[in-house]
Structure 1
């Protein structure tokens, strides 16, 4: 299951295609009578019961009496030229925080795993075999222009997003029909039973105002939902766009008559009267902007800066607070990712050789102040990470694809090459050279060339963040010792996104966040159908039948135990194919903030800092740390 888009947008101080559906809304629905026999539920849990009963007052982790007011300023990296979420993956650069305007049918609870409660919808029911789900729109739900949110809006949103967003086309690929089955009811039909996650992911659908998108702008021009726009869109959420400077600043103001302010899922949240995003083209300038009190909150991703850059007067005077929050809700793979669509990277032995050349231990000591641990799983930091050798249910699952996966994974635990000093590095380089020879390369005149074509192995690292240059330069020196020609290119955000969409790269730095209940998004990450779809998250280009089969085992798991075992199997096969050179991770969110904010005494288990969603402006603190 994806991590809730709305939750991430509101909880993070941001740095930052299928065939058209014919006949949606016009087809008959044979299961309506059955649907109406099912009781309405106020929440959904992927496995087990929901924590909060019907009619609960508020989430346990909020302060229902939180003060309302204050302005919070967040930093964002790069630029923006678009407010239209529909084309976010294929055109332009979407503005930070734009999800504050829109809402979904359900919203995530931060203290439960894979659990959602009603937002735009006030009721949900589904088939015992998960072959359909029906949502009932809250009669109070309103757009900012006062018009009600309707079933037609939901159908329009589903159709539009599925036809224009490659990532969502894959995510909702198995939803084959959406139709009105009551005055406020919409039923989604799935292509097969058994996929228990589909009712949940339909609940995450962003709902767009049909009447607004089919209308005209102030100039009388018809709006185009398939084009980028800087016209602030109509929303139903707690905020609207107040003002903006293209590419530099966007200000959201709280909607005074927001329809959902008294909902139990809203109480104690969205406490700031304004949320501002200030854009920086350079991360160093962004840090200086924080020091100069131009932004209030900073999530620090640089170990070097965390260790060296926060000794300034405001820290010493305790006007700036540094704090780390445990990351318990997500796993991650961050890595140098190969584009295996290119012939030179198709051999797993060559890709493994790159891992032997990567001297993480020395890099961690010299560049990262020893703060990081090496990643050894696509679900690193969670119970979903494989370990040891496969046993029990995981082994049974892997036996079904035994002929299609590396034989070693049945007898050896996966491990990155060892590190720890010059002698180990020399041994690793020898091992790398041996693997490269097995893959058809040899050294001639200090150059690594292919034995058949005589072509030198050349690789380009494509980056969008200059902070990664020092990492790649250290890696580059080691690769060049083996005769590989290495270049480094750092481009701006727009160029980077365009090159990704065209698969125009050798190696990139990529990361995949994982929820505690993986599911349909795995097709988008590693599935064969996503490999050739521009805008997909399968940046590696994986087309592996065994991976596809294991993804389906994850999606159609009937119990938590089976889900964990299937995920272990998927993780193990991905690792043993050496699609990436794993990098590093840190189990905490590093943050620094000007001390002007209050928060609940106990933060939710699965949302790290949960800033700014459940924090508030503290007048007493703000008086001591005046802007």
Structure 2
């Protein structure tokens, strides 16, 4: 019997609603059920808090007081030299926080580090979601989650030596909430306001006690110098060097061609434990290339020091050249202990063609992974199943537990039994590209959805052809799409491929002007607010969001709400599995593949510590060998 209709279920719902009244706000029913089943008021109100130098979303920070450096850094790493990376594409913008333009690489975040712009706190890269003090030396979260207070490090300075002040924090929040990227606007929507408390302290007032991730999200907010943006249009394209608080300054800008950052010898945090042994090169340079092949040729010549690779064909053949055979270039596979995310063809459900889940499932069945892996990828890829593969968050081949079923209780029948009990499996083929069983299974789904064969064409009941366009932006994507196109054609489906340049692709991606396109959704071990921007109903029609398929599913919304409100790791795992399950069952994306790890190739003149974070390689930990610090850093 569904929980909601049972005697116990009615009592749980009543208790949950009473809990909402005591808190002075209405809880979404899915979250309320989880809260009530988890133990009432105590399960969502944290223990009394106090200012502390680190905070974990669940549990305690891994690094205990007195730690000297992060585990993936070598505090004895030498300083100096240059590291050059290659980028395919172009840039015309040095403000990475707005919708307009193509921002340059390397300014903030990701594997390449927070080189120019920093946040109040820094992320622990080998923990699910833990932050350590950076611009802010402490964080204080109120026991009722009504406020979060940051106390700034008195030594914190921007690169022009002006101090980082509460006014800068207030300016950054108000500007990014109003004019920042869509995910920033969404993240900050639950903040009532921000105020300066004293010369070193700033306090955020929160609207809701349900968003337990929000204090950490605010800790990761980039802090911008208010004086640098005075009298500027924040949303306009900016190409002059911005001022940041990070370890590097922008020193050379050649739009579309090159960006050079130079290490600041007087960087304010260079001796802080959170930065010791990191950001070692005197110069970081990003050279831009029209295509991947040109960049690889530059790498072979020593003009690029380090490159990550995702193409199995190149990984198997392109790195066999004289310098590699002489041991001057090495290939590494960096292990990961985080979810693999999702790589797949997004089916735009805003198009009537893809409105029926049976049609979407048929298209997923018509992607022959076994053929593609053998013929295109040297057999090196692993099949993608769901959105959190390789982690405890994955629902694939796992039955829903009691926590997950409690979240699902308000939506009886919303998920097919095979997905709910974990018996559903990703179809496999004989690898021929025309597996008769796979074609038959797909055709039965299409037929049930109202499609029929008219000669060699698949048509609707009115005779309209089943036809769509696959939008790609690289030759590799085009090649993959052609393999899928070949199998689709066997059922009379007309799939056309259109390859466009990076700028046009980004414009069409942001405005959802596509039928089908390939996209990668990275995942963390602690998913939360970013899922709103990816899979919520509200994001489906918000231009620039990463909800490319246009998912509008109340179960997904409830799962996201529960993710954000989770107060224990068990609650978060249950919510993540429900989200994974409903997205898999909805076939919004045709799952493709993932790598067994991260592939990196680099010249031996640059090195990194033996330990790497569980989230993957990170450029700040690398250094140039002392005997290679020639003029300019690299040959």
2:233 matches 1:209? no
Contact 1:355 1:417 (8 Å CA) reproduced: no
From 237, 240, 244, give the equivalent of 1:228: 237
Q: Distance in 1 between matches of 2:72 and 2:222?
A: 25
Q: CA deviation at 1:584?
A: 0.3
Gap change, CA 1:525 and 1:135, over 3 Å in 2: same
Gap change, CA 1:626 and 1:318, over 3 Å in 2: farther
Q: Distance in 2 between matches of 1:61 and 1:143?
A: 26
Corresponding residue number in structure 2 for 1:259 = 268
Q: Distance in 2 between matches of 1:57 and 1:412?
A: 45
Q: Distance in 1 between matches of 2:545 and 2:248?
A: 29
Corresponding residue number in structure 2 for 1:76 = 87
Secondary structure class of the residue paired with 1:180: strand
Gap change, CA 1:54 and 1:626, over 3 Å in 2: closer
Describe the superposition over 1:430-464 as per-residue Cα deviations: whole angstroms up to 9, x where unpaired.
1111111111111113211111x321111111111
2:514 matches 1:505? yes
Corresponding residue number in structure 2 for 1:619 = 626
Q: Distance in 2 between matches of 1:119 and 1:233?
A: 20
Contact 2:433 2:487 (8 Å CA) reproduced: no
Contact 1:83 1:231 (8 Å CA) reproduced: yes
From 98, 101, 105, give the equivalent of 2:120: 105
Q: Distance in 2 between matches of 1:296 and 1:435?
A: 50
Corresponding residue number in structure 2 for 1:426 = 436
Secondary structure class of the residue paired with 2:379: coil
Structure 1: runs of 5 or more not aligned? 1-36, 215-221
Contact 2:257 2:288 (8 Å CA) reproduced: yes
Q: Distance in 2 between matches of 1:138 and 1:423?
A: 60
2:594 matches 1:585? yes
Contact 1:319 1:595 (8 Å CA) reproduced: yes
Describe the superposition over 1:135-178 as per-residue Cα deviations: whole angstroms up to 9, x where unpaired.
01111111111111111111111111111221111122212211
Corresponding residue number in structure 1 for 2:6 = none
Corresponding residue number in structure 1 for 2:157 = 142
Corresponding residue number in structure 1 for 2:69 = 58
Describe the superposition over 1:310-356 as per-residue Cα deviations: whole angstroms up to 9, x where unpaired.
11100110011111111223431100110111111010000100112
Q: Distance in 1 between matches of 2:416 and 2:144?
A: 35
Contact 2:369 2:431 (8 Å CA) reproduced: no
Q: CA deviation at 1:39?
A: 2.7
2:311 matches 1:302? yes
Contact 2:338 2:390 (8 Å CA) reproduced: no
Contact 1:404 1:545 (8 Å CA) reproduced: no
Secondary structure class of the residue paired with 1:311: coil
Q: Distance in 1 between matches of 2:158 and 2:629?
A: 34
Secondary structure class of the residue paired with 1:207: coil
Q: CA deviation at 1:424?
A: 7.8
Corresponding residue number in structure 1 for 2:33 = none
Q: Distance in 1 between matches of 2:322 and 2:165?
A: 53
Contact 1:129 1:194 (8 Å CA) reproduced: no
2:434 matches 1:440? no
Contact 2:82 2:629 (8 Å CA) reproduced: no
From 393, 396, 400, give the equivalent of 2:406: 396
Corresponding residue number in structure 1 for 2:5 = none
Contact 2:85 2:286 (8 Å CA) reproduced: yes
Gap change, CA 1:38 and 1:481, over 3 Å in 2: closer
Q: Distance in 2 between matches of 1:236 and 1:145?
A: 9
From 83, 100, 105, give the equivalent of 1:96: 105
Deviates more, 1:191-200 or 1:263-272: 191-200
Q: How does 1:310-349 map to 2 (within 5 A)?
A: 310-349=319-358
Corresponding residue number in structure 1 for 2:199 = 183
Corresponding residue number in structure 2 for 1:608 = 616
Contact 2:80 2:280 (8 Å CA) reproduced: yes
2:478 matches 1:449? no
Contact 2:368 2:433 (8 Å CA) reproduced: no
Q: CA deviation at 1:403?
A: 3.7
From 67, 73, 86, give the equivalent of 2:97: 86
Gap change, CA 1:391 and 1:55, over 3 Å in 2: closer
From 500, 516, 522, give the equivalent of 2:525: 516
Deviates more, 1:562-571 or 1:398-407: 398-407
Corresponding residue number in structure 2 for 1:248 = 257
Gap change, CA 1:421 and 1:93, over 3 Å in 2: closer
2:498 matches 1:482? no
2:47 matches 1:39? no
Corresponding residue number in structure 1 for 2:425 = 415
Q: CA deviation at 1:111?
A: 3.1
Gap change, CA 1:51 and 1:626, over 3 Å in 2: closer
Q: CA deviation at 1:466?
A: 1.6
Q: Distance in 2 between matches of 1:103 and 1:522?
A: 23
Q: CA deviation at 1:421?
A: 4.2
Secondary structure class of the residue paired with 2:533: helix
Describe the superposition over 1:28-80 as per-residue Cα deviations: whole angstroms up to 9, x where unpaired.
xxxxxxxxx95310001111112223443222332212111010000111100
Q: Distance in 2 between matches of 1:162 and 1:358?
A: 40
Describe the superposition over 1:339-376 as per-residue Cα deviations: whole angstroms up to 9, x where unpaired.
11111101000010011211110111111111111111
Gap change, CA 1:616 and 1:423, over 3 Å in 2: closer
Structure 2: runs of 5 or more not aligned? 1-47, 109-114
Contact 1:178 1:186 (8 Å CA) reproduced: yes
Contact 2:468 2:495 (8 Å CA) reproduced: yes
Corresponding residue number in structure 2 for 1:31 = none
Q: Distance in 1 between matches of 2:166 and 2:312?
A: 48
